[in-house]
Amino acid sequence: MSSADYRDPATVRRLLDAIAGTVSRPWTLMEICGGQTHAILRAGIDRLLPPQVTLVHGPGCPVCVTPVGVIDQAIALAGRPGVTLCSFGDMLRVPGSRTDLLAARAAGGDVRAVYSPLDAVAIAGREPGREVVFFAVGFETTAPAAAAAVRQAQALGLANFSLLCAQVRVPPAMAAILAAPDCRIQGFLAAGHVCTVMGLAEYAPLVERFAVPIVITGFEPVDILTGVLHCLRQLEAGQARLENAYARAARTEGNPAAQALVGEVFEFVARDWRGLSELPDSGLGLRASYADFDAVRRFGLVQTPPPDPGECRAGEVLQGRLRPDLCPAFGSRCTPQRPLGAPMVSSEGACAAYYRYRGQAA
C-alpha cells in the first residue's frame, strides 16, 4: 500500500462503519503521541467517531513535557560567553520561567537550531574554541541519534561537546497516568514510531498490571481508526491485550541495533515531567562512562524548583484531563504567536493542534 492508501476515504468510511457496529457503550481512549493528536485533529477523526467514543490526548509531545527548570538551564547556558547552545527549532520558542531561547539569542547568546545532534557535533569540530551544547529533548525515537552524537564526539576526541539531556521514555508516563486513582483512560493507542525503535516488549507489563488494552498505532487516518477499532473490540469483549496495528513499520523486537546504541550510552534515570512530576526510570541519562559529555556536570548546573505556571494549564492538558480549547486562555491570551505554555508552541502540542485545525473559536 502507498501512503495515500492510508488516507483513502472509502477505507476510512469502512472503518468508521465497523467502529459504529462495534461500540455499544461509552469508552475513553488516549492516543499517546502528539503526532497522532495532530493527525486526529487534522482529519477530524474525533468528530467522525460515534459519540460513545472519546479520544483524549496524551503527554507524547517531548517539547511540552520538558520542565521549565531544564529550559531555564538551557537559557542560562546560552547566555554564557563561549557557549553555543544547539537544539531543535521547536525548543527555541518554548517559554522558560522568564524568557525563551529566541530571546536569549536576541540578547546576544549563540543559540542555533539544528536538524540533528550530529549537526551539533559538526559545529563542535569546526569551532574548537567554543563549548557546544546540544539540548537533547525527545522520546525513544530521538535517543539513538543523541547516543550516536556522543559516540561520534568521543571518537573524534571533541572535548568541547556536551549534552543537556532531557530524553524521556513513554512507558513510565503511561504507567503514571494509569496509576492515578481517578484515571478514566480505558484503552491506549501507543506511539508506533517509538515501537519501531524499542519494540513491543515494554508494553506487555502495562497491559498485565492495569488490565488495559494497548494497541500500537500509526499516524495516518486509516492507522488511527484501525487502532481505535482494535481497542474497542477488546473493550467490548472484556479483553486486555497488546496488539500491533502498525506492523508495517513496528516489529515486535524493534530495532536491536538502535537499542544497543542507546543502552551503551544511556541508562534509565528519574526525570521530571511537566504535568506528571518526577517519574522513576522515565528518563535517559548519560552513563558514568560518558559523564564527560554531561553538560549539567561540566557547567555545574542546578535546577531550580518549578515556578508557578500562572494561568497555563499544560499539566492538565498533558494528562488528558483538560481539552485544550477548554483552557480559559486558549485562543485569547494564549496563541501560537504569544504562547503561555509549550503545548501551544510545539508542532506536536495538543493546544497548537486545536488552534491550527479548529481555530481560535474551537
Binding footprint of ligand SF4 on the chain (CB under 6 A): 312-314, 317, 324, 327, 329-330, 334, 339-341, 343-344, 351
Q: CB of residue 90 vs ligand SF4: minimum separation in angstroms?
A: 14
Grid cell for residue 314 = 499544560
Residue 123 and residue 54: Cα distance in Å, rounded?
A: 46
Q: CB of residue 272 vs ligand SF4: minimum separation in angstroms?
A: 18
Q: CB of residue 319 vs ligand SF4: minimum separation in angstroms?
A: 11
Q: CB of residue 82 vs ligand SF4: minimum separation in angstroms?
A: 34
Complex with ligand SF4: residue 16 or 327, whichever CB lies closer? 327
With a CB cutoff of 8 Å and minimum separation 6, the contacts of 103 are none
Complex with ligand SF4: residue 225 or 344, whichever CB lies closer? 344
Residue 170 and residue 143: Cα distance in Å, rounded?
A: 12
Q: CB of residue 328 vs ligand SF4: minimum separation in angstroms?
A: 7
Grid cell for residue 249 = 513499520
Complex with ligand SF4: residue 218 or 343, whichever CB lies closer? 343
Q: Which long-range contacts (CB under 8 A, 24 or more apart) does 310-315 make?
A: 310/340, 311/340, 312/340, 312/341, 313/341, 314/64, 314/274, 314/275, 314/341, 314/342, 314/343, 314/351, 315/274, 315/275, 315/276
Q: CB of residue 119 vs ligand SF4: minimum separation in angstroms?
A: 28
Complex with ligand SF4: residue 239 or 277, whichever CB lies closer? 277
DSSP code at position 278: E
Residue 271 and residue 269: Cα distance in Å, rounded?
A: 6
Complex with ligand SF4: residue 101 or 344, whichever CB lies closer? 344
Q: Does residue 59 sit in helix, strand or coil?
A: strand
Half-sphere exposure (Cβ direction) of 338: Cα atoms closer than 13 Å: 6
Q: CB of residue 274 vs ligand SF4: minimum separation in angstroms?
A: 10
- φ, ψ for residue 110, nearest 5 deg: -95, 90
Task: List the beta bridge partners of residue 111.
Answer: 85
Looking at the chain, which runs of residues are DSSP E strands? 27-33, 53-60, 83-87, 110-113, 131-138, 161-167, 187-191, 214-217, 242-244, 266-273, 277-286
Half-sphere exposure (Cβ direction) of 127: Cα atoms closer than 13 Å: 16
Complex with ligand SF4: residue 276 or 334, whichever CB lies closer? 334
Q: CB of residue 215 vs ligand SF4: minimum separation in angstroms?
A: 27
Complex with ligand SF4: residue 165 or 317, whichever CB lies closer? 317
Complex with ligand SF4: residue 143 or 334, whichever CB lies closer? 334
Q: CB of residue 66 vs ligand SF4: minimum separation in angstroms?
A: 14
Complex with ligand SF4: residue 88 or 354, whichever CB lies closer? 354
Q: CB of residue 360 vs ligand SF4: minimum separation in angstroms?
A: 11
Complex with ligand SF4: residue 277 or 332, whichever CB lies closer? 332
Q: Are 192 and 255 in contact (CB under 8 A)?
A: no
Query: CB burial class (10 A; 0-12, 13-18, 19+) of residue 321?
Result: middle
